[in-house]
Amino acid sequence: MNLDPTLLDLVVCPDCRGDLAPVGEELVCGSCGLAYPVRDDIPVLLVDEARRPA
């Protein structure tokens, strides 16, 4: 995954407004734990597309 660090400073979890951190090929929320996919270096910040924490 090749995301611009400036972009990572701007995006937040659309569900809880928590900070997102890159983990593998996903952006994971530090607050609620939702994991958002990144496809072709584009974050898909849709709650319906997110993976729920176990």
Instruction: Kindly tell me if the per-residue pLDDT of 54 is higher than 80.
Output: no
In a domain, 29, yes or no: yes
Q: Which domain holds residue 45?
A: 5-49
pTM strictly above 0.85: yes
Query: CATH number, domain at 21?
Result: 2.20.25.10
Can you give the pLDDT at residue 33? 96
* SS3 track for 40-52: CCEECCCHHHCEC
Does any domain span residue 54? Answer: no
Domain-embedded: residue 13 = yes
pLDDT of 49 over the 80 cut: yes
Residue 31 pLDDT > 80: yes
| Structural domain contains residue 9 | yes
Q: How many domains does the chain have?
A: 1
* 3-state DSSP helix/strand/coil % of the chain, to nearest 5: 15, 35, 50
25 lies in a domain?
yes
User: What is the pLDDT of the chain when averaged over all its residues?
Assistant: 94
